[in-house]
Structure 1
Amino acid sequence: MTEATTDGLTVEQANAMRGELAERIGIELTEVSTERVAGRMPVVGNRQPFDLLHGGATAALAETLGSFHAQVAAGQTGTAVGIELSCSHHRAARDGYVYGVSTPLQVGRTVASFEIVVSNEDRQRVCTARLTCIIRQTVKPT
């Protein structure tokens, strides 16, 4: 995909910045904008011993999408740091992919909160997560 992000990056460039854990567990960003950040993750390779998607992997997907969304909100002069993640797991996933979409609940000058909905291939909700981040300006805007 070559869709541009709000910072002028392509989705490929955003994926290159997604981090080691996201890369290791197969998270792929598919859309990045101020309105939403979306991605997917394979279930196989991220299952717990009972062949179900591991809740921690789902939380990692949610935090990756929400954190990237917070960084987009912080812009080039700021940095975002997660301070709280809450996940409610609704149903199991056994194979295929799960898809996550982060949408802003509130984006302020110093705090931003996002809802991340993770669904299976049948569009059934697997998990609902909420991530809160602090936004710090690292460079004074000119």
Structure 2
Amino acid sequence: MSDQRIRPADPATAPVGATEAAPAPLDARLAAQLEASFAGTLVERLGMEVLTLSPSGGTMRMPVAGSTQPAGLLHGGATIALAESIASVAALLRAREVHGEGAQAVGTSVSALHHRSAREGWVTATCTPRHLGRQVASYLVDVHDEAGTLLSTITVATQLLPPR
């Protein structure tokens, strides 16, 4: 597991399952804010790492180790947590894009279909937009294993909240 949860985007090393060019690297201020916000959260506990990020999506990965069910398979809830995490961070950037600094995004719906599971290695969630409005953003998240096998398809909807 890396000690850096936010990694600069590198199109040459785009994760398996990525369907478009990686977004530009995060600016240092945003990376520091995200790093601080992940401390002590499920993102940190599950070893999740942001690989790419923009208001229109991104990629995040996590190790299978430590996130399994008793049968030794990747836990479906951990997979959903990975998908909701990358979609929520992308939605936060979208909220700030349309409402300015201090805007927030909150999840309103998650729907998952698990096709297969994994027993080891890393899984990568690739988040792409389905709707980017001023009040709602929704994303489709595909989760792949290291071989590129599609494990889960997850839809995440969020509400974009202006600053209070």
TM-score by length of 2: 0.77
Residue 57 of structure 1 aligns with which residue?
78
In structure 2, the residue matched to 1:18 is 38
**2:8/2:52 contact within 8 Å kept:** no
Partner AA of 2:141 in structure 1: I
Aligned to 1:104: 129
TM alignment of 1:31-110, pairs within 5 A: 31-75=52-96, 76-110=101-135
CA offsets 1:74-103 (integer angstroms, 9 cap, x no match) = 012411110100010000100000001111
Whether the 8 Å CA contact 1:67–1:82 is kept in 2: the answer is yes
What is aligned with 2:151? 126
Q: Distance in 2 between matches of 1:51 and 1:30?
A: 26
Q: Which amino acid aligns with 1:82?
A: G
Distance, in Å, in 2 between the alignment partners of 1:18 and 1:112 is 21
- Equivalent residues of 2:72, 2:119 under 8 A apart: yes
Question: Take 1:108 and 1:92, find their aligned partners in 2: how far apart are those partners?
Answer: 33
Change (3 A) 1:6 1:73: farther
- The two structures, once aligned, show a CA RMSD in angstroms of 1.8
Please report how far the alpha carbon of residue 64 of structure 1 lies from its aligned counterpart in structure 2 after TM superposition: 0.3
TM-score under structure 1 normalisation?
0.89
| Residue ranges of structure 1 left out of the alignment (5+ in a row) | none
Query: Equivalents in 2 of 1:49, 1:74: separation in Å?
Result: 38
The 1:5/1:116 distance shift into structure 2, 3 A limit, reads same
Partner deviation per Cα, 1:4-59 (whole Å, 9 max, x = no partner): 3379634x653443350110011111111123211101001000000000000000
For residue 105 of structure 1, what is the amino acid of its counterpart?
R
Partner of 2:51 in structure 1?
30
* Distance in 2 separating the partners of 1:22 and 1:69: 14
Q: Does structure 1 retain, via aligned residues, the 8 Å contact 2:56–2:94?
A: no
The aligned length equals 138
**Structure 2 residues without counterparts, runs of 5 or longer:** 1-6, 10-24
Judging by fraction of residues, say which structure has more strand. 1
